[in-house]
Each structure stands twice: as C-alpha cells, then as structure tokens.
A = this chain, B = another copy of it.
Amino acid sequence: MCQLLAMSANTPTDIQFSFAALRLRGGQVGPHRDGFGLGLFRSQGLMCFHDDLPASESEIAHLLQHLPLKAMVAIGHIRQANVGEVNLANTHPFVREWQGRQWCFAHNGQLTGAGELARGHFVPVGTTDSEQAFCWLMSRLKALPELNKLNIWHEIQYACQHLAAMGVFNMMLSNGEDLFVFCGSKLHYLVRQAPFGKASLLDCDLQIDFKQHTTINDRVAIMATEPLTQDESWHAMQPGCLQWWRQGQLIQEVVLPLAM
C-alpha cells in the first residue's frame, strides 16, 4: 500500500512541511520505499518530480523538502509496490494532457482485473494497476459526448465507484485548478485558515507557526492517507466519499455507495 498527499490552496503555497512528513514515511518511519513523486501546479504549468528511490533517501526529495516551491495544487505519493516492478515508469503521479490541461493522478490501493478495463485513448506506459485505472478514467472523460463541469463531475463519480468495486481505491486527481479526492477506504483532510496556529509533525520533531507564513485570506486544504500533524483537527473521510476542491474550498461532496 502507498500513501497519498494533496493540497488545494487559494494562494501559491509551499508544501515543504507536509512533504517532510510524507518523505519520512517513504522508507524511514514507514515502509513505502519503492519510489516517490510530487506534482506541483502553478496555474496550468506542472512541475512533476519522480524518483524510484525511497523518498527518505532520494536527493530529489531532499531538495523538495528544503526548497519553497509555491503551488496552487499539489499531489504527492510514496510507493510500496504491489502491482508492477519498482521503476520510474511505475512511479506516481501519472500525467496525461486532456483538452489542453495536464491531469495528474495518484492512487493508493490495489485493483483486481485492472488489465481488463477497456482500452481507450490513453495507454499506460508502466505496468501498474493504478496507471491502467487512470488511463481508463481519462479515456472515459475524453469520450464524453458533451463537456461541462457537471458532466465531468458525474463521470468521475461513476469511475470511482466502478474502480472501488475492483479492490482498494483511494485517489487524487487534478488539472491544476480542480482537485478531486476519493476515499475508498482511508483518507484524511483538514483546512488551514485564519486564525492560523502552530502545528507539529507526527513523524519527527518539526514544528511550524503558520501565522509566520500566511495572510488572513489564505486558505489551504491538505489531504493525506494518515494525519500528518498532532495538534490540528484532521477529518477522516467516509469510505465512498468523493470531494471536489478548488482554491482550498470544498465545492462539492458526495458519498457513493460501495459494493460490499
């Protein structure tokens, strides 16, 4: 199993603090040694970093922890391989362009029968069930006869429900503006906004006073497989819950019935 991290913010925000926790779980305090990735959106541009080394040992991850790269949306992933060997092509997040936007996707879980998902326009590069699911989802979106935000939202609901029925499916998906987060079994989130306080990471002795780094209008939502800090109120998402975030704001939320 892997771990996920995401951010949706209304102002360019660095994810160093949260990434520091994820990084430790990537091979030091957690077993997710099989590579890591971090995608950072600035407007429509995407910086996407991948390494097949453990995040805790990767020089690229070390840089990302210490460099204040600002983004409006971030998606991070540390991998503990179950389907597909450990290599770069199997490292999340996966990216595809659709309609002139980069779509960035990361998955936690495993799916049975992902190889039988219908082939569409987008084709996996690696051999993971995750990338197969992503390509299937994106191919379905591309095949929609009519396009609007509501269509897309309903198609993502359908896809999440379908994929969740195939095993364990927690995912994060973004085009740099919208962030879709689905909890098939386990995900947590919180929103940081004024009045800002202090927080300490659970996995190491690292603290931050958000007041020093924010303005009163800032709003930042963070999602993670497991809570990252000990002195903030993390919400456990209900299995089946799909959220649509934009600029740190929850736009829509629905709880989909899951097959038992």
Chain A positions near chain B (C-beta within 8 angstroms): 42-52, 59-60, 63, 67, 87-91, 95-102, 121-126
- The answer to whether residues A45 and B88 also contact, given A63-B63, A67-B59, A102-B125 and a CB cut-off of 8 A, is yes
Assess the B45–A87 pair: CB atoms within 8 A: yes
| Secondary structure dominating the interface of A | mixed
**Interfacial chain B residues near A88, Cβ < 8 Å:** 42-43, 45-47
Assess the B126–A97 pair: CB atoms within 8 A: no
State which of B44, B59, B60 has its C-beta within 8 Å of the C-beta of A126. B44
Assess the A63–B59 pair: CB atoms within 8 A: yes
Assess the B121–A91 pair: CB atoms within 8 A: no
Taking A44-B89, A97-B123, A98-B123 as known contacts, 10 extra A-B pairs with beta carbons closer than 8 A to each other, sorted by chain A number, are: A42-B87, A43-B89, A44-B125, A45-B52, A45-B87, A47-B50, A47-B88, A49-B49, A100-B124, A101-B125
